[in-house]
Structure 1
Amino acid sequence: MQFAIDIPHFGALSDPLLVAELAHEAEEMGWDGFFVWDHINYKLPDLPQAMAIADPWIQMSAIALRTSRIKLGPMVTPLARRRPWKVARETVTLDHLSGGRLIFGIGLGTDRSGEYSIFGETTDARAHGELLDEGLEVLTKLWSGEKFSYAGKHYQLSQAQFLPKPLQQPRIPIWVAGHWPHKKPLRRAAKFDGIFPLMRERALTPNDFREILGYVREQRTQDTPFDVVAGGLTSGTDKARDAAQVASFAEAGATWWLECYLPQHTLEQVRQRIRQGPPQF
Structure 2
Amino acid sequence: MRLSTVILPIHRWSEGQQIWRRAEDLGFHAAYTYDHLSWRSFRDGPWFGAMPTLTAAAMATQSMRLGTLVTSPNFRHPVTLAKELISLDDISGGRVTLGIGAGGSGFDATALGQEPWTPRQRADRFAEFVPLLDRLLTEDSVSYEGDFYAAHEARGIPGCVQRPRLPFAVAATGPRGLRLAAHHGQAWVTTGDPKLYENGTPAQSVHALHGQMEKLADVCAEIGRNVAGLDKILLTGFTPDRGRPLESLDAFVDFAGRHAELGFTEIVLHWPIPDSDFAADQKIFERIAMEAPAQLG
Query: 2:250 corresponds to which residue?
Result: 240
Gaps of 5+ in 2: 237-242
User: For the Cα contact (< 8 Å) 2:32–2:67, is it kept in 1?
Assistant: yes
> 1:195: how far off?
1.5
> Structure 1 length normalisation: TM-score?
0.86
What letter corresponds to residue 254 of structure 2 in structure 1?
Answer: A
Q: TM-score, normalised by structure 2?
A: 0.82
Residue 53 (structure 2) pairs with residue 59 (structure 1): yes
For 2:64 and 2:169, the matched residues in 1 are separated by: 16
Deviation at 1:183, TM superposition (A): 2.8
User: What is the RMSD of the two structures over their aligned residues, measured on CA atoms?
Assistant: 2.6
- C-alpha distance in structure 1 between counterparts of 2:277 and 2:91, whole Å: 29
Q: 1:150 to 1:273 in 2, by over 3 A?
A: farther
Identity of counterpart residues, as a percentage?
20
In structure 1, the residue matched to 2:286 is 275
Of residues 177, 181, 189, the one that matches 1:196 is 189
How many angstroms does 1:129 deviate by? 2.1
- C-alpha separation in 2, matches of 1:243 and 1:262: 18
How far off its partner does 1:184 sit? 2.6
Counterparts of 1:99-118 in structure 2, within 5 Å, are: 99-113=93-107, 115-118=108-111
Q: Distance in 1 between matches of 2:194 and 2:272?
A: 14
Structure 1 position 272, deviation (Å)? 3.6
Alignment CA distance shift 1:78-1:270 (3 Å): farther
**1:98 correspondence with 2:92:** yes
CA change 1:273–1:188 in 2 (3 A) is farther
- In structure 1, what residue type is equivalent to 2:85? T
- 2:132 pairs, out of 130, 134, 138, with 138
Secondary structure of 1:201's partner? helix
The letter of the residue matching 1:210 is: H
Letter in 1 for 2:99: G
Write the mapping of 1:13-32 to structure 2, written as runs, cut at 5 A. 14-32=11-29
**Aligned counterpart in structure 2 of residue 171 of structure 1, from 158, 165, 188:** 165
Q: In structure 2, what residue type is equivalent to 1:24?
A: R
Q: Secondary structure at the match of 1:158?
A: strand
Alignment of 1:221-232 (within 5 A): 221=223, 222-223=225-226, 225-232=229-236
Of 178, 181, 187 in structure 1, the residue corresponding to residue 179 of structure 2 is 187
Q: Deviations over 1:198-239 (max 9, x none)?
A: 232325733333221221122123348311111335656733
- Name the CA distance, whole Å, in 2 between partners of 1:275 and 1:76: 24
CA distance in 1: counterparts of 2:134 and 2:96, whole angstroms? 15
Q: Contact 2:130 / 2:180 at 8 angstroms: preserved in 1?
A: no
Distance 2:245 2:48 in 1: 28
Cα-to-partner distance string for 1:52-85 (whole Å, 9 max, x where unaligned) = 1111111111111111111111111112421111
- Whose helix proportion is higher, 1 or 2? 2
Structure number with higher relative contact order (C-alpha < 8 Å, ≥ 6 residues apart)? 1
Q: Distance in 2 between matches of 1:106 and 1:39?
A: 12
- Which runs of structure 2 are paired with 1:42-81 in the superposition (5 Å)? 42-44=39-41, 50-81=44-75
The answer as to whether partners of 2:102 and 2:123 remain within 8 angstroms in 1 is yes
Do the aligned partners of residues 135 and 235 (structure 1) sit closer, same or farther apart at CA in structure 2, a change above 3 Å counting?
A: closer
* C-alpha separation in 1, matches of 2:22 and 2:262: 30
8 Å Cα contact 1:100/1:168 also seen in 2: yes
Q: Distance in 2 between matches of 1:147 and 1:56?
A: 26
